[in-house]
């Protein structure tokens, strides 16, 4: 009998999207699946949509919890999953109809602990899907997982992946982190020696909607990506995972510079500036002295950390359209120090 795959979907107020997501899973060529719908206290009609689909197909399991965030919902799915393998899918995204079959074949062929596929960012809920007749799967290093390809970094997302369930349970999603929780989970697993591979096929469709967390106005919750990488730096500081340490330190300072710029003119500014200073000063010496980070990047982000205005000038030089963003921000008096 084929291995069973548990597919975990955290859901919060997704009545307009969840049916499309679930049907993309019910229509998989690989049939031995269970779909765990973790309702994180939705206040819309999501539960009714799921109930209708569950009446049609008994592979759907509905679990409701009080609103506690996506990390708690995914952790609940990790606890309840019955499958030999498991996957995470966001409730407003969808998958190619061969996804599970390709990922299961790949993980069994390579004997890896995690197999990743490519994802496509889309504004459509009905991307045209051609049959995938040929694909390759090769073992992946940490560098491969965190290399940017066409604007995507495979290792930063928990989606578009298949895990061995016993391996997936060796880490959990950080509660209270609402931006960067995926990368936190993946890097914690990788730091335990998880073997991974990459399939050269696009299997996951990442749907971008107007009111998604990606497009929403900057708030304190978006700063939590800096908190996530601060946590990862603490986790890795005494480890021998040199690439992961360098990656997390570099991303930490990139996020600090980026978040300070986006917080200007918002109610989150005071909090973001104070926390950026506290966290940045904690890791600045280690960042400057890490020889696994390109020396030019170390110099640049050390300077950017000390001067937000220098960072904003550099962003403008690289992308002149940033001037429109700066002009539209509420006026802030210039100060010598952030």
The pLDDT-based confidence of 325 (bands split at 50, 70, 90) is: confident
Q: How many CB atoms lie within 10 A of CB 153?
A: 14
Nearest to 167 by CA among 237, 62, 78: 78
Q: Give the model's pLDDT for residue 4.
A: 98
The pLDDT, as a whole number, for residue 148 is 87
What pLDDT, on the 0 to 100 scale, is given for residue 315? Answer: 87
Whole-number Å distance between alpha carbons of 318 and 300 = 14
**pLDDT averaged over every residue in the chain:** 93
pTM for the full model? 0.92
Does the pLDDT at position 213 exceed 50? no
Which residues belong to CATH 3.90.550.10 in the chain? 5-207
Element of type H or E holding 207 = strand 196-207
Fold of 5-207: Spore Coat Polysaccharide Biosynthesis Protein SpsA; Chain A (3.90.550)
Phi, psi at residue 146, to the nearest 5°? Answer: -110, 20
Tell me how far the alpha carbon of residue 193 is from its chain's centroid.
Answer: 20
Residue 217: what pLDDT?
Answer: 74
User: What percent of the chain is predicted at pLDDT more than 90?
Assistant: 87
Residue 162 CB neighbour total at 10 angstroms? 29
Lowest mean pLDDT across 73-82, 111-120, 145-154, 255-264: 145-154
Question: Considering only 143-157, 168-182, 212-226, 277-291, which range has the smallest mean pLDDT?
Answer: 212-226
Asked whether residue 26 carries a pLDDT value surpassing 60, the answer given is yes
Q: Provide the token pair at 85.
A: 């393998």
Average pLDDT estimate for 134-146: 96
Contacts of 127 (CB under 8 A, 6+ apart): 120, 205
Neighbours of 291 (CB within 10 A): 9
Report the relative pairing of strands 196-207 and 94-95 from DSSP bridges.
antiparallel
Q: How far is Cα 311 from Cα 303, in angstroms, rounded to an integer?
A: 8
């Amino acid at each position: 009998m084929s291995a069973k795959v548990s597919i975990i979907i955290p859901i919060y107020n997704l009545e307009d999207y969840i049916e499309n997501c679930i049907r993309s899973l019910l229509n998989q060529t690989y049939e031995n699946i269970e779909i765990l719908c973790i309702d994180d206290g939705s206040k819309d009609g999501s539960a009714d949509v799921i109930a209708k689909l569950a009446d049609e197909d008994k592979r759907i399991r509905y679990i409701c919890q009080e609103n506690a965030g996506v990390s708690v919902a995914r952790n609940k799915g990790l606890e309840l999953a019955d499958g030999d393998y498991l996957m995470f899918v966001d409730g407003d995204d969808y998958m190619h109809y061969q996804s599970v079959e390709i990922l299961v074949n790949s993980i069994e062929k390579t004997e890896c602990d995690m197999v990743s596929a490519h994802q496509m960012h889309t504004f459509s809920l009905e991307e045209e899907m051609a049959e995938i007749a040929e694909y390759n799967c090769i073992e992946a290093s940490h560098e491969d997982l965190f290399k940017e390809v066409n604007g995507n970094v495979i290792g930063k997302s928990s989606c578009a992946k298949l895990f061995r369930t016993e391996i997936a349970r060796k880490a959990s999603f950080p509660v209270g982190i609402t931006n960067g929780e995926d990368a936190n989970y993946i890097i914690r697993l990788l730091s335990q020696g998880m073997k991974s591979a990459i399939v050269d096929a696009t299997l996951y469709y990442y749907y971008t909607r107007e009111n998604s967390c990606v497009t929403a106005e900057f708030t304190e919750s978006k700063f939590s990506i800096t908190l996530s990488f601060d946590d990862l730096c603490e986790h890795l500081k005494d480890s021998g995972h040199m690439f992961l340490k360098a990656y997390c330190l570099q991303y930490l300072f990139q996020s600090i510079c980026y978040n300070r710029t986006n917080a200007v003119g918002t109610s989150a500014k005071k909090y973001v500036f104070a926390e950026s200073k506290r966290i940045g000063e904690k890791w600045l010496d280690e960042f400057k002295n890490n020889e696994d980070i390109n020396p030019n990047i170390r110099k640049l982000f050390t300077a950017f950390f000390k001067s937000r205005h220098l960072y904003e000038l550099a962003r403008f030089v690289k992308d002149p359209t940033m001037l429109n963003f700066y002009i539209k921000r509420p006026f802030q008096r210039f100060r010598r120090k952030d």
